[in-house]
Structure 1
């Protein structure tokens, strides 16, 4: 039996209280895959997801802290992969949160807590759709909930190698992105790639007295600062040759909106050239994420012998991430001042990607979003962030159509204090996913 749109609306309304309660249950688990955190919580998070899938009649397996479950559909129906991830970013300084990051709290129609947006809402949107259909699921599904996405998906090659057959699908739904605005749904149609690397410089065998030896001997912090400064031109455009990204983006992104959402301080100039959307989605970006050096408070009067920085590069669609990595490494090695010793090492790399904007699967997704948002037409938008899995899945399953959606919105503060989702928008994405499965069956 194929459920009507009215039936699905009623079913989602019926399931939403339980879906919300289970989302809160997941948010209470601080599953962080980064080194230095209790990895027992990641396993507890995986077990919680597996338990929720069992409640939907699936038989999940846990592999490298990822949860995988498959359920066949009616004869002749397509198989749809439903992807999300259950691991989260560290909370950071908890004093910056308005409430406990791992105790969900609703304020003014938003549910706050680490992972509410990224990406436990994605898990629960999948489960909401499965619960809405019950035993009448019109398509086959593969549920794939990763446990290391925020940590660079280090186990992904092994997972894909070991479970390639189990994960095979005709359509892949990646629920790990954002909508354009409150009340404005979107399909993410491009993703930048990612390079994280470390650059370490050394000038002395050990720290020495800055008065006795200062002058001729360069300190490593100054060397590092001068080297990092070569990564941008005077206007802030990335100065590394070979990163590509000469294109622009069609969607208008007003500068005042960007400044407000990014929290750019008054008087601070935006860097780079071209439209805001182009700089975010179609051009490279380089950021220094951290520096290892003596803290300013309490620093001794000694010349610093070594210093280290973590550099992030976002790679635009159309540029191979490996080529970009070689360009970044060559640039850093070539521009080290004063003959200082330097090493550049890769931490994480992920390819950029473009998703289809036409075709029957995309049409089915647009129709589902349009219905869930009461007739509002979804927009095609890029995402400046990275989901390296998309390129890996495209290589493994070249005939599958990949859709990138999500429950986030511009006010979700993803990866930041006070991460949240809008409760009513979350309800809409749950309905949209149920309608998408129905449309795909047709």
Structure 2
């Protein structure tokens, strides 16, 4: 006998305390896939996720393709029913400066209806939303389910393509739910329908074979830091729009971002203005953006009175939907060589790149998702939104499974502070996300 919507609501409420306890246990595992961290914790995180999925009656395996461990759990579909792939990731970002955290990052703490801790939102809550939906159905699961929980998403998903290729038939599904995005606001659900791509690269500037006395030759001989500063300044025009030929953009946002809301959510200081021109949603979703993430140079406290011979900067280039990542790298490289000041020697080294994506969110499966959101949020209409960040592997799923409906959902809200200090999960929204996923499985089955 299939469960009713009323049954599902009651089941989610019944399961939420246990789901939260298991989420807190996951948050306590510092599973960071970056180099230099204890990767045994990533292994421990994968084992914990595998045990959770086994408890939901799935056949589970821990897999890898040269990188960190991923977890795949599977339960076949009832006759004539579709299969849904539920994606999340169990690895987390490094915590950064501990002094900026108000509580220990790997000891979950509730404050003001939010659960604070690294990974509480991104993306261990995504894992637990899948678990909550499966527990709510128990043995009455109306669809086939494959749960795919990656172990190195924050580090770039380097082995994901190989994992998908190796386990392609097991991962094949009619609907793919990517639980790694967010909602429009607390109380307002959303489907993410576009994400920007990414090129991370290093630019090196050299002007001298070695450091020389700044007084003896200063005024005639350029220093590498000034040359680098002038070079990266050419990446934007005076208004702050990206000034690199060959980077594409589009004006396609259907909603706008209130300026004061963005100022608050970004933590913009009083008097600091926005960069660029046009609607804010176009600037942060549908156009390229370039940021200088870091510079290698002498520390001021240790810098001698000498002209610096070389300097390096790390650039993050976000790509609008429709942009080819390799073409973007070529365009940025050509721009940097063209604008090298005073004949400085410039070289560009790629760190990573990822494709943007755009999703045509029309059809019955997307209608089912929106209906599930409306019911979980008590009649609030979901927003179709873009995201300025990047999840490059979505383009891989689109290529490998072209007939699947890809639903990009998530548990985050504008105050979640994913990747930053004091990351948190809004517990009320998390309950709605769990209910929405259970309702989605029920509606997809129908």
Superposition TM-score, scaled by structure 1 size: 0.98
Q: Which residue does the alignment assign to 1:14?
A: 14
Q: Distance in 1 between matches of 2:287 and 2:260?
A: 20
User: In the alignment, is the contact (CA less than 8 A) between 1:73 and 1:139 conserved in 2?
Assistant: yes
Q: Which residue does the alignment assign to 1:234?
A: 238
Q: What whole-Å deviation, never above 9, does each CA across 1:146-165 have from its counterpart, x for those lacking one?
A: 11111111111221221111
Q: Mean Cα displacement is larger for which, 170-179 or 318-327?
A: 318-327
Q: What whole-Å deviation, never above 9, does each CA across 1:119-166 have from its counterpart, x for those lacking one?
A: 111000001001111111111111111111111111112212211111
| 1:295 equivalent in alignment to 2:285 | no
| 1:127 equivalent in alignment to 2:104 | no
Q: What whole-Å deviation, never above 9, does each CA across 1:353-395 have from its counterpart, x for those lacking one?
A: 1112221000100011001001111111111111111100000
Secondary structure class of the residue paired with 2:40: helix
Q: How far is the alpha carbon of 1:337 from its aligned partner? A: 1.4
Secondary structure class of the residue paired with 2:253: coil
Secondary structure class of the residue paired with 2:347: strand
Q: Which residue does the alignment assign to 1:23?
A: 23
| 1:148 equivalent in alignment to 2:152 | yes
Q: Mean Cα displacement is larger for which, 199-208 or 397-406?
A: 199-208
Secondary structure class of the residue paired with 2:59: coil
1:399 to 398, 403, 419: 403
1:263 to 258, 267, 274: 267
Alignment of 1:39-58 (within 5 A): 39-58=39-58
User: In the alignment, is the contact (CA less than 8 A) between 1:248 and 1:279 conserved in 2?
Assistant: no
Secondary structure class of the residue paired with 1:177: strand
Secondary structure class of the residue paired with 2:42: helix
Secondary structure class of the residue paired with 2:30: coil
Q: Distance in 2 between matches of 1:388 and 1:71?
A: 27
Secondary structure class of the residue paired with 1:259: helix
Q: What whole-Å deviation, never above 9, does each CA across 1:396-424 have from its counterpart, x for those lacking one?
A: 01111100000100110111111101101
Q: Distance in 2 between matches of 1:289 and 1:51?
A: 38
Q: Mean Cα displacement is larger for which, 266-275 or 239-248?
A: 239-248
Any gaps of 5 or more consecutive residues in structure 1?
A: none
User: In the alignment, is the contact (CA less than 8 A) between 1:15 and 1:131 conserved in 2?
Assistant: yes
Q: What whole-Å deviation, never above 9, does each CA across 1:71-110 have from its counterpart, x for those lacking one?
A: 1010111111100111111101011011001110000100
User: What RMSD in Å do the two structures reach over aligned CA positions?
Assistant: 1.1
Q: How far is the alpha carbon of 1:218 from its aligned partner? A: 1.7
1:430 to 428, 434, 437: 434
Alignment of 1:21-420 (within 5 A): 21-64=21-64, 65-420=69-424
Q: Distance in 1 between matches of 2:60 and 2:304?
A: 56
Secondary structure class of the residue paired with 1:8: helix
Q: Mean Cα displacement is larger for which, 60-69 or 175-184?
A: 60-69
Any gaps of 5 or more consecutive residues in structure 2?
A: none
Q: Distance in 2 between matches of 1:88 and 1:304?
A: 37
Q: Distance in 2 between matches of 1:318 and 1:185?
A: 26
User: In the alignment, is the contact (CA less than 8 A) between 1:356 and 1:401 conserved in 2?
Assistant: no
Q: Distance in 2 between matches of 1:409 and 1:339?
A: 47
Q: Distance in 2 between matches of 1:154 and 1:435?
A: 33
Give the total of aligned pairs.
442
Superposition TM-score, scaled by structure 2 size: 0.97
Q: How far is the alpha carbon of 1:59 from its aligned partner? A: 2.4
Q: Distance in 2 between matches of 1:114 and 1:368?
A: 28
Q: Distance in 2 between matches of 1:63 and 1:155?
A: 11
